[in-house]
Structure 1
Amino acid sequence: MPNEDRDFRHALERASAWVARYLHDVADLPVLSRTRPGEIAARLPAAMPEEGEPFDALLDDFERLVLPGITHWNHPRFFAYFAITGSEPGILGELLSAALNVNAMLWRTSPAATEIEEVALRWLRQALGIPESFFGVVYDTASVSGLHALAAARESLDLDIRNLGASGRDLPALRVYCTEQTHSHVEKDAILLGIGRENVVKVPTDDAFRMDPRALERLLGEDRAAGHLPMCVTATIGTTSTTSIDPVPEIARICKGAEVWLHVDAAYAGPAAIVPELAHLMDGIEYADSLVVNPHKWMFVPVDLSVLYTPHEDLLRRAFSLVPAYLETPESDVRNYMDYGVQLGRRFRGLKLWFVLRSYGRRRLVELLRGHVAMAQALAGWIETEPNFEILAPHPLSVVCFRHVPPHLNDDSAALDAHNAALAERVNATGFAFISTTRLRGVTTLRIAIGNARTKERDVRETWELIANLAREG
């Protein structure tokens, strides 16, 4: 056996043993990295080595240099942003995909990559109650999935922007509608598509942070009267700050009447529709023109994997398909995924999704997501009974937004905001848990998001006790 083969096998065994140990012991690590800016870079060489280094040296430096700078997203007390999970089957899928190193751009460049993606997305569609007519494609993140959805919406207007472009033409301003609770990627996608932030219209929300359908209808009418061209409405199932759920059926009715593309961002909450009592999350989705679901957010698939579903496969393909001579193939009855996006290079992401769906099965996924929602409701109950704390938003899923209101700061909004921001930093500085903040109606808000597969109620309870104790200390 050649030495390099033995060395790799040894390194692979060492790395796999480290991964298993890490997943078992991750709860003992501080969640948030304590490294200061520039500290890691300062410890690295100024240039690459002239001669190659052994695998053991790489793994040694991984533990010595890299790990201190890691914030542990796989930690059961990672409660910031949206808690996610790099699960065991997902990790196996990533390992094998990296070893195969295929480019899944054409069916023939790896038939299994294309067909496993098709099958896994069909399984996921069925599990979430998405109509059979919806075609699915894997991208990396919701930002990119949303970009492709908006591009398809633009293509649906038949302005031939694909060929003629938009600049130098007498075209009306294209308008995109969302709320202040919509994820920021919609504005970024509007920038990238040449629509511009000024043409992203923020629809008012109700007391539960949901899009107001009457306000949407009014804004659509005003824009048409002003000579603008409504292109797309983005509704959200599970907004980023509060997990509010926009009234999709009513919004869909308005979009249909106005002949405007309806895009639904269910990146976070979409997977929860697998839970029978949460299947209503997908109410009205049959009327959507596109839908994003992120299995890497709340379905235990390692980052990154986002899915765009649409009943308009032809429009998505028309927006992006461009086949040069060197990519022509004789197969006519296959799907070439390069035709559905800007990227020609495509990782074999479908493998890890397929592994996760098979390893967990529907029943275990339902149990875990149901448990996360139950933990969030328990947390909300503890907050409501604690003096000087208040809930700041409805909590239908696994995120709770709240703040501490000490009596002496009750009339000083700026001081109250600073107090809660400092409280979050004090919690995070302990290393025991990691929480994040947001702003709701201009108010600094503490936010706990539950979603890691290893999180137990004890983790949530002890984190809440830490917050309450620090708040009492002042």
Structure 2
Amino acid sequence: MSPEEFRELGHRVVDWVADYWSTVDQRPVLARVQPGEVAAALPASLPEKAEPLDAVLADLDRVLVPGLTHWQHPRFFAYFPANSSPAGVLGDLLSSGIGAQGMIWATSPAVTELEQVVLDQLREALGLPESFARSGAGGGVIQDTASTATFTALLAALHRATDGGARRAGVPPGRFTVYGSTQAHSSLLKAAMMSGLGEAAVRAVAVDPTTQAMDVAALREAMGADVAAGLTPVMVQAAVGTTSTGAVDPVAEIAPVAQEHGAWLHVDAAWAGVAAVCPEHRWIHDGVEHADSYVTNPHKWLLTTFDCSAFWVRDRAALVGALSILPEYLRNPATESGAVVDYRDWHPQLGRRFRSLKLWTVLRSYGLEGLRAHITNGVRQAQHFADLVRADARFEMVTDPVLGLVVFRVVGDDQRTMDLMEAVNAGGTAYLSHTKVEGRAALRMAIGSWQTTDADIDTTWDALVSHLS
């Protein structure tokens, strides 16, 4: 394909995406296919002869689009947003076109240095502590997802707790413990499994029944009991914006308990953290200055195309110590000089994409003013939806709204709540998900798409009311 052919076909692909965005609100949010239907419509073998892009686009429309659940639909409220804004897509296209490999500084210096700068800029924009800045002992790196960030934090915590023994001889079985609330993301359990600690090492700490935030007294009791039994607490994860209800753990109160036992404190703010770009929402970061690591996902609510997870540490020595490895084929003068950062040592992967380019494109294209307007609009729309719930005696709020998340239910038995969700989702107008809070079913309305309007909120409410039996 020549540059001119690429130019022509590229225009057509951009046109397809623009048409998709402009018409996605007219489609059912959920896919309308049966298991195996998409696979059955595709050929079993690759073609011998090259096929034109027209054939690819035709099959995209005919086979794949009907099998998509439309995450960019303005009434996709089931999970936290995975925004793919115009600026994010264009930045991702630039990254793909350049095709740089940023595993070490020497393989493309600009990839590393832009990432360092943009994460310092984002840290400042979110009001995160100076201890996470690259100018000191800390620093930031872009991970693929918050799940990888949590796993990476645990590896660093084990490295510190064992004085490097974990990477040399592995993890002694049954010795270390990890703590998170009963509402912590499942990635904490998976991190324990992948690290070799195993599921049995994870302690699920009780939460306050009203706020669903971690009960600090219960944490203190659990850690004390483990220490008395001869175990070593290695990491505490505090959630800032849980998946279920958006609960914010009291990081400032958790920190001294973790410090008392020498445990690493990791803050998982995957969804909610970016809201701190608005100064009025920086309360969510109270106590974060005591954290050893912190993660938030621009690819959720900050208009950046998946995947892009921003992860900071207070002491990069523990992180690099846990993961650094230098085979002969990666040796180079810049690395050996000690003057550069090689991000291959900051996460499990060796290869890494030029993710900072799309984040940089988004941050510059919208500016702080535009980013704040986007977050503010989502919070306002959530409050509007919560007001509708409160005004209808057939519904009740389950927890207070947190930023862009509203958790509610139908008054009465849980089956009515679940039946209502299934009816609305099947109707195609909107897509909501459910959770359980204190053993009772509840619906989640997660707002934050760049295309969602007030009319979409009202349309979704009308669908709920009309399907209520």
User: TM-score surpassing 0.5?
Assistant: yes
Aligned to 2:408: 402
Where do 1:306-325 residues align within 5 Å?
A: 306-325=309-328
Where do 1:202-281 residues align within 5 Å?
A: 202-206=204-208, 207-281=210-284
- The C-alpha deviation readout for 1:326-353, integer Å capped at 9, x for no partner, is 0011012111111112211101111110
Aligned to 1:413: none
Which has the larger displacement, 325-334 or 251-260? 251-260
Deviation of 1:277 after TM superposition, in Å, equals 0.9
Select the residue among 168, 177, 180 that pairs with 1:163.
168
Alpha-carbon contact 2:192-2:199 (below 8 Å) kept: yes
- The C-alpha deviation readout for 1:222-261, integer Å capped at 9, x for no partner, is 1000111101110011010100110010101211222211
Give the whole-Å Cα distance in 2 for the aligned partners of 1:132 and 1:109: 29
SS in 1 for 2:45: coil
Give the whole-Å Cα distance in 1 for the aligned partners of 2:299 and 2:224: 38
Give the whole-Å Cα distance in 2 for the aligned partners of 1:282 and 1:384: 28
Asked if 1:349 corresponds to 2:352, the answer is no
SS in 2 for 1:374: helix
Deviation of 1:85 after TM superposition, in Å, equals 1.2
Aligned to 1:289: 292
Unmatched runs of 5 consecutive residues or more in structure 1: 411-415
Deviation of 1:4 after TM superposition, in Å, equals 4.7
Deviation of 1:418 after TM superposition, in Å, equals 2.8
SS in 2 for 1:356: helix
TM-score normalised according to structure 1 size: 0.94
SS in 1 for 2:271: coil
- The C-alpha deviation readout for 1:205-231, integer Å capped at 9, x for no partner, is 112101011111111111000111101
- The C-alpha deviation readout for 1:388-447, integer Å capped at 9, x for no partner, is 211111212111111112xxxx3xxxxx33332221111111211111111111111111
Give the whole-Å Cα distance in 2 for the aligned partners of 1:5 and 1:37: 40
User: Which letter does structure 2 place at the counterpart of 1:324?
Assistant: P
Give the whole-Å Cα distance in 1 for the aligned partners of 2:5 and 2:366: 34
Asked if 1:87 corresponds to 2:92, the answer is no
- The C-alpha deviation readout for 1:164-218, integer Å capped at 9, x for no partner, is 112xx5x652101111111100001111111111111011111210101111111
Give the whole-Å Cα distance in 2 for the aligned partners of 1:156 and 1:377: 43
SS in 2 for 1:309: strand
Where do 1:316-335 residues align within 5 Å?
A: 316-331=319-334, 332=337, 333-335=339-341
SS in 2 for 1:156: helix
Aligned to 2:121: 123
Select the residue among 375, 380, 386 that pairs with 1:374.
380
Give the whole-Å Cα distance in 1 for the aligned partners of 2:75 and 2:389: 18
Unmatched runs of 5 consecutive residues or more in structure 2: 133-138
User: Which letter does structure 2 place at the counterpart of 1:369?
Assistant: I
Aligned to 2:140: 136
Aligned to 1:187: 189
Deviation of 1:78 after TM superposition, in Å, equals 0.7
Aligned to 1:431: 428
SS in 2 for 1:262: strand
Where do 1:9-88 residues align within 5 Å?
A: 9-88=7-86
Give the whole-Å Cα distance in 1 for the aligned partners of 2:225 and 2:245: 29
Give the whole-Å Cα distance in 1 for the aligned partners of 2:130 and 2:111: 21
Deviation of 1:158 after TM superposition, in Å, equals 2.3
Give the whole-Å Cα distance in 1 for the aligned partners of 2:205 and 2:27: 43
User: Which letter does structure 2 place at the counterpart of 1:136?
Assistant: G
Give the whole-Å Cα distance in 1 for the aligned partners of 2:33 and 2:119: 39
Give the whole-Å Cα distance in 2 for the aligned partners of 1:84 and 1:151: 27
Alpha-carbon contact 2:174-2:197 (below 8 Å) kept: no
Alpha-carbon contact 1:268-1:294 (below 8 Å) kept: yes
Deviation of 1:6 after TM superposition, in Å, equals 4.3
- The C-alpha deviation readout for 1:263-299, integer Å capped at 9, x for no partner, is 1000001000111111111111110001011000110
Count of residues in Structure 1 that have an aligned counterpart in Structure 2:
458
Structure 1 runs of 4+ with >6 Å offset:
none
- The C-alpha deviation readout for 1:285-317, integer Å capped at 9, x for no partner, is 110001011000110101111111111111100
SS in 2 for 1:211: coil
Asked if 1:106 corresponds to 2:87, the answer is no
Give the whole-Å Cα distance in 2 for the aligned partners of 1:292 and 1:302: 17
Deviation of 1:65 after TM superposition, in Å, equals 1.4
Alpha-carbon contact 1:180-1:202 (below 8 Å) kept: yes
Deviation of 1:84 after TM superposition, in Å, equals 2.5
Asked if 1:453 corresponds to 2:453, the answer is no
TM-score normalised according to structure 2 size: 0.95
Identity of aligned residues (%): 44
